[in-house]
A and B are shown apart, each in its own frame.
Chain A
Amino acid sequence: MSFLKLNHISHQYFHDKGYTKSVDNISMAIEEGAFISVLGPSGCGKTTLLSIISGIIQPTHGEVLLRNQPLSNTASGIGYMLQQDYLFPWKTILDNVLTGPKIQSKETEQTKDKAIQILHEIGLANVVHSYPKSLSGGMRQRAALARTLMTDPNLLLLDEPFSALDYQTKLKLEDLVSSLLKEYNKTSILVTHDIGEAIAMSDRIFLMKANPGEIAEIFEVPIEIRNLQPFQARKHLKYQLLFDRIWEELNELENKHPV
């Protein structure tokens, strides 16, 4: 039994002048504890796909099954980290991290302690009572991650969480996230533009193409790389081989479907 199953998902955005088919006939089956990456050019429907999996958008076709149950029947259990941090500027970092429990009316002294502990682990111990605007981009991303982890989701959806960061911060954060998720045995789907990041972090990679957004190819990441920290994985020989294969595939797609 798969943990998460997408059956022939399609979605159109309708507007006055017509419609955009953002994703078309997407199916995937994901095991518990797996780390999946979705890779593809801008506008191929990655964000749309995550919004559908999170239950925020209803697909126009198809269904999402979480532990064989339709989404609406499962009590969420999904953590969704958006493409930008979207921290509430009028709340302190601690209050931002406590947003989830507060919405779910589960705010207690324990959740507060837990929030502080997560912030500690993620290296934000000294900005607990600061406001988001006084934090750097990387710190804000980490705070947003802490907010997502706070509700103990079984499934984590990460939409380009590292895209706004400088290279060094990005590499460090990749290692941090990777070890945190392994530690808590989370199932995760990471959306990214970055081929290297997809290989270094995940077990399997779905390559998408645009217009309409479809799955073009699925790559299994070699077992040798999977168990390495992202930073170490990047230095592995097989990393380079897979990188070249994906790179070629992407170029081919571009030639077949010129933008």
Chain B
Amino acid sequence: MNLKTNTLSDEQLFEQYKKQRKAYRKSITFWQLVIFAAFFISWEFASRMEWIDPLIFSSPSKVGHLFAEKLIDGSLWFHLQVTLLETIIGFVAGTLLGIILAAILWWSEKLSKILDPYLVILNAMPKVALGPIIIVALGPGYVSIIAMGAIICIIITALVVYSAFREVDENYVKVLKSFGATRWQCFTTAILPASFPAMISTLKVNVGLSWVGVIVGEFLVSAKGLGYLIVYGFQVFDFTLVLYSLLVIAILAALMYQLVEKLEKWLIKNTAG
């Protein structure tokens, strides 16, 4: 046995290694599918056997039926589109405003020192608690909901990006200053691109946060969207509807996360070489 492996060429060893890797990856996917299937099968089974209350926990088949029904009558698309749009706008606005705030803090160190305790408090405060005030101030519509999606990620983005700005080696700025660069040029040529990785990683966090903000906003406004469906389902005691909405949100959030990850890979490849 030992003798046999020793006689393998490097090429063959590499083939062997590749085969092992492939088998390993296959087994990972296999177990992921097993968990997926086991979850839904046991859910369905438990519901049919009434081990869990079918009224509250519904069952995959009921949710699936509802899904098909809503797909056909177009209301899936209607609510999904509302929520998705609000989330994307909230996410983009929150991230951009956070980065702008970070830039302002970087610009004036004094201002950042002055604002420091307030930023800490704002960051620690649960932003969704501001919901009722926002809705009264901006009216019970999509503007409020987008604002919730944005507000929830502004402060954390600003803090993370600002600390990334500060960690940029000041000697890069020194290089630029030796060419007579203005402060704005230093910012755009050195600070901003050097902080790119940090900014991209906040994107990933913000995707999740914006969903929370928007769904809570829809809870409160209760007019349309997936968050509204959840509240409505709860009020009429239709938990199939609640679970259906939850499932759609989970799928959308996962897709959006994947998209941001793709964007991250692309940006890193195209900006850092």
Tell me which residues across on chain A come within 8 A of B177, comparing CB atoms: 56
B171 lies within 8 A of A82 (CB)? yes
Does residue B176 face the partner (Cβ distance < 8 Å to A)? yes
Tell me which residues across on chain A come within 8 A of B117, comparing CB atoms: none
Tell me which residues across on chain A come within 8 A of B185, comparing CB atoms: 103
Report the nearest A residue to B175, measured CB to CB: A86
Complex-state Cα separation, A100 to B181, whole angstroms = 9
Tell me which residues across on chain A come within 8 A of B193, comparing CB atoms: 88, 90
Q: Within B177-200, which residues are at the interface with A (CB < 8 Å)?
A: 177-181, 185, 189-190, 193-194, 196
A78 lies within 8 A of B178 (CB)? yes
B180 lies within 8 A of A103 (CB)? yes
Count A interface residues, CB 8 Å. 24
Residues 42-60 of A, flagged 1 when their CB comes within 8 A of B and 0 if not, give: 0000000001001010000
A151 lies within 8 A of B175 (CB)? no
Tell me which residues across on chain B come within 8 A of A104, comparing CB atoms: 179-180
Complex-state Cα separation, A86 to B170, whole angstroms = 10
Does residue B174 face the partner (Cβ distance < 8 Å to A)? yes
Report which of A82, A86, A89, A147 forms a contact with B272, defined as CB distance below 8 A: A89
A88 lies within 8 A of B172 (CB)? yes
Q: Within B232-273, which residues are at the interface with A (CB < 8 Å)?
A: 271-273
Q: Within A75-132, which residues are at the interface with B (CB < 8 Å)?
A: 75-76, 78-80, 82, 84, 86, 88-90, 92, 99-100, 102-104, 131
Tell me which residues across on chain B come within 8 A of A54, comparing CB atoms: 178
Count B interface residues, CB 8 Å. 20
Complex-state Cα separation, A51 to B171, whole angstroms = 11
Report the nearest B residue to A96, measured CB to CB: B175
Report which of B175, B194, B273 forms a contact with A99, defined as CB distance below 8 A: B175
B174 lies within 8 A of A103 (CB)? no
Tell me which residues across on chain B come within 8 A of A89, comparing CB atoms: 272
Q: A86-B169, A90-B193 are in contact. Are A103 and B273 (CB under 8 A)?
A: no
B85 to nearest A CB, angstroms?
Answer: 33
Report which of B172, B179, B190 forms a contact with A100, defined as CB distance below 8 A: B179
Residues 140-179 of A, flagged 1 when their CB comes within 8 A of B and 0 if not, give: 0000000100010000000000000000000000000000
Report the nearest A residue to B180, measured CB to CB: A76
B175 lies within 8 A of A82 (CB)? yes
A90 lies within 8 A of B175 (CB)? no
B180 lies within 8 A of A86 (CB)? no
Tell me which residues across on chain A come within 8 A of B273, comparing CB atoms: 90, 92, 131, 133
A242 to nearest B CB, angstroms?
Answer: 31
Q: A99-B179, A103-B181 are in contact. Are A90 and B172 (CB under 8 A)?
A: no
Report the nearest A residue to B273, measured CB to CB: A131
Q: A89-B272, A90-B273, A92-B273 are in contact. Are A84 and B171 (CB under 8 A)?
A: yes
Report which of B171, B178, B272 forms a contact with A79, defined as CB distance below 8 A: B178
Tell me which residues across on chain A come within 8 A of B196, comparing CB atoms: 90
Complex-state Cα separation, A76 to B193, whole angstroms = 26
B174 lies within 8 A of A56 (CB)? yes
Report which of B169, B171, B176, B194 forms a contact with A103, defined as CB distance below 8 A: B176
Tell me which residues across on chain B come within 8 A of A147, comparing CB atoms: 175
Q: Within B149-178, which residues are at the interface with A (CB < 8 Å)?
A: 169, 171-172, 174-178
Report which of B174, B179, B180 forms a contact with A82, defined as CB distance below 8 A: B174
Tell me which residues across on chain B come within 8 A of A99, comparing CB atoms: 175-176, 179, 189
B197 to nearest A CB, angstroms?
Answer: 10
Complex-state Cα separation, A99 to B181, whole angstroms = 10
B169 to nearest A CB, angstroms?
Answer: 7
Tell me which residues across on chain B come within 8 A of A151, comparing CB atoms: 179
Complex-state Cα separation, A54 to B185, whole angstroms = 18
B174 lies within 8 A of A51 (CB)? yes
Q: A88-B193, A131-B273 are in contact. Are A76 and B174 (CB under 8 A)?
A: no
A88 lies within 8 A of B174 (CB)? no
Residue from B172, B193, B273 whose CB has the most chain A CB atoms within 10 Å: B273
Report the nearest B residue to A105, measured CB to CB: B185
Further pairs besides A90-B196, A90-B272: 11, Cβ < 8 Å: A51-B174, A76-B179, A79-B178, A80-B175, A82-B171, A88-B189, A88-B193, A90-B273, A99-B189, A103-B180, A103-B185
Per CB-CB distance, the 5 closest pairs between chain A and chain B, nearest first, are A80-B178, A131-B273, A103-B179, A100-B179, A103-B181
A-B CB contact pairs (8 Å), 15 listed: A51-B174, A56-B177, A76-B178, A84-B171, A86-B169, A86-B172, A90-B273, A92-B273, A99-B189, A103-B189, A104-B179, A104-B180, A131-B272, A133-B273, A151-B179
